[in-house]
Amino acid sequence: MKTTRLLRILLCAFALCHAGLPTACGQIQLGVDWQQFLAKQDMVWNKMPANYYEGPFVGNGLLGAIVFKDTKKDNTLCFEIGRTDVYDHRSKNINSTNPFGRLPIGQLLLTPVGVITGAKFRTDLWNAEITGTITTTMGMISLRCFVPSDEEFIVLDIKSTGQENKVNCSFSPEQGNHPRPTVQPNRDMGVYVPNPPFVTSRIDGIEVITQPLLEGDDYATAWIDRPNADKSRTILITVANRWANKQVLGSGSAVDAVATIKAAQQKNMGLIEEAHRTWWHHYYPSSFVTLPDTRLESFYWIQMYKLASATRADRPVVDLMGPWFKPSVWAAYWTNLNLQLAYYTLGITNHLDIADALYKLIEKHSDQLIENVPVAYRNDCAALGNPVGYNDLNASVMLNTNGTSPMRLIALPWLIQLFYIHNRLTMDDSRLRNTIYPLMKRTFNVYTRTMQLDIDGKYHIPYTYSDEYGNAFETSLNIALARWGYKTLIDCATRLKVDQSSVNAWRDILTNMADYPTDTTGIMVGRDVPFAKPHRHYSHLFCIFPLYEMNIEEEPERLPLMEQSIAHFTGIDGDNCMFKFNGASSLWSALGKGDSALKWLNRSLLILNTRKGPTITPNTLYSENGWPTFESPIASSRAALDMLMQSWGGKIRIFPAWPSTWKDAGFYSLRAEGAFLVSAVKRYGITRFISIKSLAGEPCIIKCDLKGTIKLLASKNVSMQRRGELIALTLPKGEEAILYTGVKPTSFDVTPLPTKAGTCNSWGLKEK
């Protein structure tokens, strides 16, 4: 323990020192007082949060708690307890609807002696903890809650004055049944078979609630309220979850939960807190972004906090709620948008280790992806349906060419696109050759096997589903996915020097594929199916974003078509939601339209409770029809990044969608395709400098707005050529270069922008 702790402290110290030291070329510096900077971004409450969407939250990628006024017990503060992998263990073969799904745990309750008269809370982003005070008619209760990064328990420290030293702490269990048939019992056909009732017991003085499951496993919650020498109290709570042990009641998860609490009682909480803070202090400096809009900047950093609270490199892939449970009809993993958007930001922000949990899941279950297709296709195809359960990609996909049963194909091609981009951020050719490329071939061979060569000499996409709009022949969604797939397969095969015969076949398909169907409103959903009703999913515009398959650089003549398509998409009011608006922002950024991108990003961050549709909530979680959907706020943070940097098609674009109302911004160590770390600063609307560091020695082409003679600051191993608006760098592995124009800046510092008075701590809940 002491060795591990020392190593973490040294790593953190190195990261923090490195954040303020010159890079190898002796110039670029990140000048951030992280504690002070993040304190301005903290969420702050000066009133009691009323529900899940208002309360402060903590998590460590597995366990989490969210705090708000209890809805069942008067005068009580509720800590909703969640664990991401608490899914039903029953098999899909059981005779029940909704065989898998996220299950509830319960609430830790704090009931004061006196009547609550006031409450204040703060989410300390830098230290990843909640602090707060509750004022009552009998005194005051001070609390602090955090989920230690390397542990499997939650810590709640309580100090009180007056009669509140008798504040009552209790646990209210929830019956462990799938919430979908509970909240909407008439939504699905069939009968849900409930799990057995939970059982409460005491083991060695520790309260334990064990939830047996229908097929033999269980999960258990254990907690203890212990007094401290200074008259404060520490509540420790854990949730244990055994999988596939088929343990009998009393010898399964309850044993694990009690053992965790017992071990926690013997540990030095000071050292645990130190290790916890060290992890977080090492996490934040991986990259840096500062924006001229303080509310947007705070939102961005809260999403960085939220991501690391919800998932880690060695923790479960994040679902629609992360470790913060709420009853929902979507208590599973949705693979046609939600899972993808949740992972939109981690790679760019240089948190590849955390993002990799998703791609390891794909690698682990590649056999399931093959088994998801009919037997006749398993020799060379793979696919994924929607939704799936925890640690599972078993969801069959119907493949056919009958023209009457639509195929639903979006999930795996889109995930493979994300996996490929993740690899482009590292340039790991071994993984590309052994894992990504073979699975990519199977994924896009679905199109090869099902497309039809018509008498017009064109390959046509058969009857498919355009998520979540409807069915059509020649869906623009699947044209875009197929075209991206074949282009990328050709690039991969060329890089790896394999499959020349397949390359020729893919080129033939690309040359002869039927084009996107269009009408006067722009890109259609599919042949004979216009985009003619309000809809949130921008699947028919995937060619523009996220695939960049149709873009202004390769096809500038199509700019009017793309502009008309996006404007029409947002111009039909209705079916409004957050990912509709941040999707529109990223679509406009793909066209370099910064003002439109900012307009729709800001729209996604409005707090509205009208028929216009939900967007963000005070704690930056997101409610759609009352159900949590984790991914949408993350997609808004990605939309902000798309205005600062884009890397696709072999180019790195710096400030590609700059709003006219912005004057200043900066970023440090954002990660671009080709394995480059990129930093840049803009002041008074002018790009002061750009820094590029190569981690793999790949070709480097930059597109930026530097004017006049561009000057290079680098070692003699680096060379530069200007090709019109493009800059080509010969940048060996480990080398970095700074580009600037005019007089050499006195410093190449990336520092936070100043904040205006009254604009800090924009999020949380304030008395009006």
Task: Give how far Cα 419 sits from Cα of 307, 416, 452, 638, Å.
Answer: 18, 5, 28, 17
| Residues 530 and 467: beta-carbon distance below 8 Å | no
For residues 669-679, give the mean pLDDT. 98
Q: What are the helix (H) ranges across 190-293? A: 253-266, 269-283
472's tokens: 């059509």
Query: pLDDT for 93-151, tens place per residue?
Result: 555 556 678 999 999 999 999 999 999 999 999 999 999 999 999 999 999 999 999 99
Phi-psi group of 686: left, alpha or beta (phi > 0 → left; psi -120 to 50 → alpha; rest → beta): beta
Distance CA 478, CA 542 (A): 9
13's tokens: 């110290």
Letter for the amino acid at 230? D
* pLDDT greater than 90 at residue 20: no
* pLDDT greater than 50 at residue 705: yes
pLDDT band at 192 (very low <50, low <70, confident <90, very high): confident
Letter for the amino acid at 764? G
**Per-residue H/E/C for 372-399:** CCCHHHCCCCCCCCCCECCCCCCCCCCC
Tell me what pLDDT residue 244 has: 65
Count of C-beta atoms within a 10 Å radius of residue 262: 16
Is residue 24 in a domain? yes
Candidates 328, 321, 325; CA nearest to 180 is 328
Candidates 404, 540, 517, 515; CA nearest to 463 is 404
pLDDT band at 246 (very low <50, low <70, confident <90, very high): low
Is residue 91 in a domain? yes
For residues 188-215, give the mean pLDDT. 91
| Residues 322 and 390: beta-carbon distance below 8 Å | no
For residues 618-630, give the mean pLDDT. 91
Count up the domains in the chain and report the number.
1
Tell me what pLDDT residue 78 has: 98
Count of C-beta atoms within a 10 Å radius of residue 612: 12
pLDDT band at 361 (very low <50, low <70, confident <90, very high): very high
Determine the 3-state secondary structure of 103 from DSSP.
coil
Residues β-bridged to residue 721: 728
Tell me what pLDDT residue 13 has: 41
Task: Give how far Cα 405 sits from Cα of 38, 270, 382, Å.
Answer: 52, 61, 19
Task: Give how far Cα 130 sits from Cα of 142, 158, 273, Å.
Answer: 11, 12, 13
Tell me what pLDDT residue 216 has: 82
Tell me what pLDDT residue 251 has: 63
Is residue 201 in a domain? yes
Is residue 314 in a domain? no
Helix (H) or strand (E) holding 32: none
Output DSSP code: residue 432.
I
Is residue 138 in a domain? yes
For residues 491-516, give the mean pLDDT. 97
Tell me what pLDDT residue 9 has: 40
Candidates 606, 537, 527; CA nearest to 575 is 537
Tell me what pLDDT residue 685 has: 95
3-state helix, strand, coil split of the chain in percent (to 5) is 30, 25, 45
Q: Quick one: what percent of the chain has pLDDT higher than 70? A: 93
* pLDDT greater than 70 at residue 3: no
* pLDDT greater than 60 at residue 26: no
pLDDT band at 767 (very low <50, low <70, confident <90, very high): confident
Domain containing residue 198: CATH number: 2.70.98.50
* pLDDT greater than 50 at residue 156: yes
Backbone phi, psi, residue 687, to 5°: -70, 115
Supply the range of the domain harboring residue 227: 2-289
pLDDT band at 250 (very low <50, low <70, confident <90, very high): very low
Distance CA 578, CA 583 (A): 8
Contacts of 388 (CB under 8 A, 6+ apart): 100, 332, 333, 335, 394, 395
Is residue 209 in a domain? yes
Distance CA 499, CA 491 (A): 11
Is residue 621 in a domain? no
Contacts of 641 (CB under 8 A, 6+ apart): 289, 345, 348, 349, 670
Q: Across all residues in the chain, what is the average pLDDT?
A: 93
Give the highest mean pLDDT range of 184-193, 589-598, 623-632, 742-751. Answer: 589-598
Tell me what pLDDT residue 125 has: 98
Tell me what pLDDT residue 12 has: 45
Candidates 217, 226, 256, 227; CA nearest to 239 is 256
703's tokens: 């597109």
For residues 47-72, give the mean pLDDT. 97
Tell me what pLDDT residue 1 has: 40
Give how far the C-alpha of residue 617 lies from the chain's centroid of Cα atoms, to the nearest Å.
Answer: 17
Distance CA 353, CA 279 (A): 13
Query: pLDDT for 505-553, tens place per residue?
Result: 999 999 999 999 999 999 999 999 999 999 999 999 999 999 999 999 9
Count of C-beta atoms within a 10 Å radius of residue 765: 21
Helix (H) or strand (E) holding 695: none
Tell me what pLDDT residue 182 has: 83
Distance CA 235, CA 108 (A): 10
Distance CA 44, CA 189 (A): 44
* pLDDT greater than 50 at residue 737: yes
Candidates 674, 684, 633; CA nearest to 653 is 674
Tell me what pLDDT residue 609 has: 56
Output DSSP code: residue 198.
P
Tell me what pLDDT residue 189 has: 64
Place of tokens 């600063």: 681
| pTM of the full structure | 0.94
Place of tokens 């003679």: 709
Is residue 92 in a domain? yes
Determine the 3-state secondary structure of 636 from DSSP.
helix
* pLDDT greater than 50 at residue 15: no
Distance CA 445, CA 704 (A): 37
Count of C-beta atoms within a 10 Å radius of residue 21: 12
- E-strand stretches of 41-85: 43-45, 57-59, 63-69, 77-83
Pairing of strands 651-654, 700-703: parallel
R_g (Cα) of the chain, nearest Å = 27
For residues 723-747, give the mean pLDDT. 94
Distance CA 619, CA 642 (A): 23
